Amino acid sequence: MKKRNVLIVLLVAIVAFVAWFGYSSTHETKDTKLTTVTIGYQKADSVDIARNRGVFAKKMKAKGYKVVFKEFQDGTALTTALKSGDIDYARVGDVPPVSAQANGLDFVYVGAGSDKVKGSGLEVKKNGDIQSLSDLKGKTIAYTKGTSSQYFVLRLLKKAGLTTSDVKLVSMDQSSAAVAFSKGTIDAWATWDPYTSTAEVNADAKLLVNDTGLAKNREFIVSTAKYASANKTVSKYLIKYLGEDMKWANTHKAKLVTMLQKSLGLKKSILEKMVARRYYAMGTMTSSILKEQQSIADVFYEEPAFYNQVSHYR
């Protein structure tokens, strides 16, 4: 990663602050006279909660916008879809926008949500060989390249006094990693909820270390600079109404569990665990959050080989 590209994080975020002023609209659909806005999300994230509750879409419709939701497995897939124009907004974690910007993609931060430190981290078997950080040496750790789990692994190894050469690191998508972890073909898995909760309930796993003090795994709403600049009013409504849904989620956790259980088809115990360790929020970017993102870019800049590695588990 070139140093010049690392600085893009700051520059793009500044653009995001400036982008809140003014107004213009997107293309209208002839049949409904509503402007279509397409939002990419991952299961159980803030957008998925708003999608399932249904209030968000109604509020957006009242303002003249038809919301279309598209699900993706991880942030890398979301930023790819955003680049191609398949979606207008993406709900991502903290690393995907940094990676995208460092690779020259013109993205901006439209909104910033809460962190997921208690539900993200390193999963290991409860009664396995890994019971402390020192036990990680020589073990196989799975993560997903270009996501929060990649950054977490770097911070975790540093805390453990290890380097990337002391362990075997394999990049896998979350579904493949879940299978590999269940079968025991990997020793540890850097991931996030609902995958962590699912592993803990179904695969006799535990979080050896969560993200506290290592990574925030904060969620963001991002868009291309071009789209955000042309649709400032859309962005304002989107963040406002998502924020209202997050306030509802914090005060109606039992209803949230029931709603997600119906949507995701997961056990109630999995969702209760996930929801209990989350605080939900969505608002605008702040200078402190911007510093968090810059820190991620700086860490990857110090580990270019790991940042760029593309090998996958076989």
pLDDT at position 32: 56
Q: How many CB atoms sit inside 10 A of residue 195's CB? A: 24
pLDDT at position 104: 81
Distance CA 211, CA 209 (A): 7
pLDDT at position 291: 94
| Residue for token pair 């209760």 | 272
The pTM of the full predicted model, rounded to 2 decimals, is: 0.85
pLDDT at position 312: 36
Measured on CA atoms in the order 213, 215, 219, 223, is the torsion positive or negative? positive
Task: For residue range 68-97, list pLDDT tens digits in order.
Answer: 999 998 888 999 999 999 999 999 999 988
* Mean pLDDT, all residues of the chain: 88
Task: For residue range 239-261, list pLDDT tens digits in order.
Answer: 999 999 999 999 999 999 999 99
3-state secondary structure of 170: strand
Task: For residue range 203-225, list pLDDT tens digits in order.
Answer: 999 999 999 999 999 999 999 99
* Terminal Cα distance for the chain, rounded: 26
Select 117-210's CATH number: 3.40.50.300, 3.40.190.10, 3.40.1650.10, 2.60.120.260: 3.40.190.10
Percentage, residues of the chain above pLDDT 90: 78
Task: For residue range 272-303, list pLDDT tens digits in order.
Answer: 999 999 999 999 999 999 999 999 999 988 88
56-94 in b/e form (b: 16+ CB < 10 A) is bbebbeeeebbbebeebebbbbbbbbbbeeebbbbbbbb
Measured at the CA of 199, the angle between CA 201 and CA 179, to 5 degrees, comes to 135
3-state secondary structure of 283: strand
Please give the CATH topology (third level) of the domain spanning 3-114+218-301: D-Maltodextrin-Binding Protein; domain 2 (3.40.190)
Q: Tell me how long the chain is.
A: 314
The yes-or-no verdict on residue 52 having pLDDT over 60 is yes
Residue type, 101: Q
* Domain span(s) for CATH 3.40.190.10 in the chain: 3-114+218-301, 117-210
The values of phi and psi at residue 190, to 5°, are: -85, 115
The yes-or-no verdict on residue 30 having pLDDT over 70 is no
Closest CA to 145 of 154, 137, 136: 154
pLDDT at position 17: 42
Average pLDDT over every residue of 217-239: 96
Q: How many CB atoms sit inside 10 A of residue 175's CB? A: 11
